[in-house]
């Protein structure tokens, strides 16, 4: 077996190496001061790789300045240009960042153009020792793949594999691959399919793991831990990002805990009763999600009980909450709405965190529904593939309301958008249009 190690600046990613923890700025990249400040905070928190959205050439130039100034300060954390839709932007950024993330589903308008532009990108990467992440997302696979395989884990695997082969055709192996989804089942199945394909080929490229748009708070942490631990337990995954609709600095301690969990905890025999002794709530919920989640995800258990050694430390209500959250994260039992919420980035033009909290508050009665709150129209409609309804930023002060993948109301003023979302859902319920997918 050939294990490919990928160099990203001063960081090495590969099988047998420590898992690399990374995050992404939610600042506007052209706001250079804010972006530099957040990079400083992420570096201090322990982020080993930092990604910034790079929509166009003005963001390329801003990112160049960010990179230059951080290095002058002695902060050498590798930077990644996150590029969608514009291959020329990826090519321009590749001359100075340590890694470029591209999405096969929207790298170029047609496949022949994509192949040509990808070859051009690789030439620049070879010259500058720049790595590439082939970042496949469920819901933005591109028409060619969807026509062949549907919007499925197999489609995700095939999309990634096609681009791995394109890289190999251009004699380039400095690639990391991701197959992200907000649905933990879809995400784990896609990664396993690709991993098994690579094993069959005798060549393992590093995998970047993530449950995308996981949400926030305890729910986002538990959902991420359930999905990531299921793969890490099997030795699948070399770098991770926990996507929370919070400050990206908050992602780092969660990702570190998950990355290190199996280093200090051996998988136990399958049981339905789990005993814990973690003293803090955060460690308790992450430990429970990492330990119990894989058994649920692989259908080795259907139900379980949780006990804490110090019964006075957490209430029975907290224990019941934790159990329900783990069951929902593993898609076994739904006791509340399922939320998809992106972490936000430089494309987000509204207060995503506050808006998401208000959407959750006002839709908490809609058990079984899957509701998305997405920062922008660029990736939002594709990446909320599992949602029954969506609230998607459309521009400054404007929101688009979706039913499934169909926009129903466009350019809704932001102060009316949640009302409009609820109006649509309630109207659909009355007219029996709504069919929540989780029930």
What is the tens place of the pLDDT at every residue in 226-251? 999 999 999 999 999 999 999 999 99
Q: Is residue 197 part of a domain?
A: yes
Residues 316 and 356 in one domain: no
Residues 45 and 179 in one domain: yes
Residues 359 and 310 in one domain: no
Question: 378 vs 338, which has greater pLDDT?
Answer: 338
- Which pLDDT value is given to residue 350? 77
Q: Nearest to residue 370, comparing CAs of 380, 378, 360?
A: 360
**Of all residues in the chain, what percent carry a pLDDT higher than 70?**
97
Residues 85 and 70 in one domain: yes
Q: Is the pLDDT of residue 83 over 90?
A: yes
The mean pLDDT of the chain is 92
Q: Is the pLDDT of residue 439 over 60?
A: no
pTM of the shown model: 0.92
Domain count, the chain: 3
Q: Is residue 285 part of a domain?
A: yes
- Which pLDDT value is given to residue 378? 67
Residues 158 and 305 in one domain: no
Question: 268 vs 7, which has greater pLDDT?
Answer: 7
Residues 195 and 292 in one domain: no
Q: Is the pLDDT of residue 374 over 50?
A: yes
Sequence length of the chain is 439
Of the ranges 211-220, 243-252, 268-277, 352-361, which one carries the lowest mean pLDDT score? Answer: 268-277
Residues 394 and 327 in one domain: no
CATH number of the domain to which 374 belongs: 3.30.413.10
Q: Is residue 236 part of a domain?
A: no
Q: Is residue 436 part of a domain?
A: no
Q: Is residue 377 part of a domain?
A: yes
Of the ranges 285-294, 379-388, 394-403, which one carries the lowest mean pLDDT score? Answer: 379-388
Model confidence band, residue 438 (pLDDT cutoffs 50, 70, 90): low
Model confidence band, residue 268 (pLDDT cutoffs 50, 70, 90): low
Q: Pick from 333, 367, 393: which residue ends a domain? A: 333
Residues 263 and 369 in one domain: no
Residues 32 and 109 in one domain: yes
CA atoms within 13 A on the CB side of 54: 32
Question: 437 vs 107, which has greater pLDDT?
Answer: 107
Residues 205 and 282 in one domain: no
Q: Is residue 243 part of a domain?
A: no
Residues 55 and 163 in one domain: yes
Q: Is residue 172 part of a domain?
A: yes
Domain of residue 408 covers 338-430
- Which pLDDT value is given to residue 435? 65
CATH number of the domain to which 73 belongs: 3.20.20.20
Q: Is the pLDDT of residue 300 over 70?
A: yes
Q: Pick from 333, 361, 389: which residue ends a domain? A: 333
Residues 12 and 96 in one domain: yes
Of the ranges 191-195, 266-270, 389-393, 428-432, which one carries the lowest mean pLDDT score? Answer: 266-270
Model confidence band, residue 437 (pLDDT cutoffs 50, 70, 90): low
Q: Is residue 298 part of a domain?
A: yes
Model confidence band, residue 193 (pLDDT cutoffs 50, 70, 90): very high
């Amino acid at each position: 077996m050939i294990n490919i190690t990928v160099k990203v600046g001063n960081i090495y990613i590969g099988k047998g190496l420590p898992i690399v923890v990374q995050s992404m700025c939610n600042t506007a990249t052209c706001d250079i001061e804010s972006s530099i400040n957040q990079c400083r905070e992420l570096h201090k928190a322990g982020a080993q790789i930092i990604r910034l959205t790079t929509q166009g050439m003005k963001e390329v130039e801003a990112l160049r300045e960010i990179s230059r100034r951080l290095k002058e300060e002695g902060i050498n954390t590798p930077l990644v240009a996150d590029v969608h839709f514009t291959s020329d932007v990826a090519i321009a950024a590749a001359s100075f960042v340590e890694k470029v993330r591209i999405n096969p589903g929207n790298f170029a308008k047609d496949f022949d153009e994509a192949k040509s532009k990808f070859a051009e990108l690789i030439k620049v990467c070879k010259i500058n020792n720049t790595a590439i992440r082939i970042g496949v997302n469920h819901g933005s696979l591109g028409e060619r793949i969807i026509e062949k395989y549907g919007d499925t884990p197999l489609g995700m695997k095939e999309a990634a594999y096609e681009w791995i082969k394109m890289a190999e055709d251009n004699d380039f192996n400095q690639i990391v691959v991701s197959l992200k989804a907000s649905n933990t089942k879809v995400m784990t199945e896609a990664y396993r399919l690709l991993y098994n394909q690579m094993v069959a080929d005798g060549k393992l490229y590093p995998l970047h793991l993530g449950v995308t748009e996981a949400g926030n708070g305890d729910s986002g942490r538990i959902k991420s831990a359930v999905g990531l631990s299921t793969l890490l337990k099997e030795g699948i995954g070399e770098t991770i990002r926990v996507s929370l609709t919070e400050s990206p600095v908050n992602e780092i301690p969660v990702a570190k805990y998950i990355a290190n969990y199996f280093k200090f905890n051996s998988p136990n025999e399958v049981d339905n009763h789990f005993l814990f002794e973690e003293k803090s709530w955060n460690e308790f919920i992450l430990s429970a999600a990492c330990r119990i989640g894989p058994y649920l995800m692989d259908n080795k258990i259907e139900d379980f009980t949780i006990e804490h050694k110090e019964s006075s430390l957490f209430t029975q209500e907290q224990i019941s909450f934790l159990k329900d959250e783990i069951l929902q994260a593993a898609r076994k039992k739904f006791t509340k709405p399922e939320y998809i919420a992106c972490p936000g980035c430089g494309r987000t033009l509204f207060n995503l965190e506050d808006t998401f909290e208000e959407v959750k508050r006002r839709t908490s009665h809609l058990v079984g529904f899957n509701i998305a709150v997405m920062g922008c129209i660029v990736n939002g409609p594709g990446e909320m593939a599992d949602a029954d309804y969506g609230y998607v930023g459309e521009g400054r002060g404007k929101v688009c309301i979706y039913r499934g993948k169909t926009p129903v109301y466009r350019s809704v003023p932001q102060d009316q958008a949640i009302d409009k979302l609820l109006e649509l859902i309630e109207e659909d319920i009355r007219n029996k249009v709504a069919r929540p997918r989780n029930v």
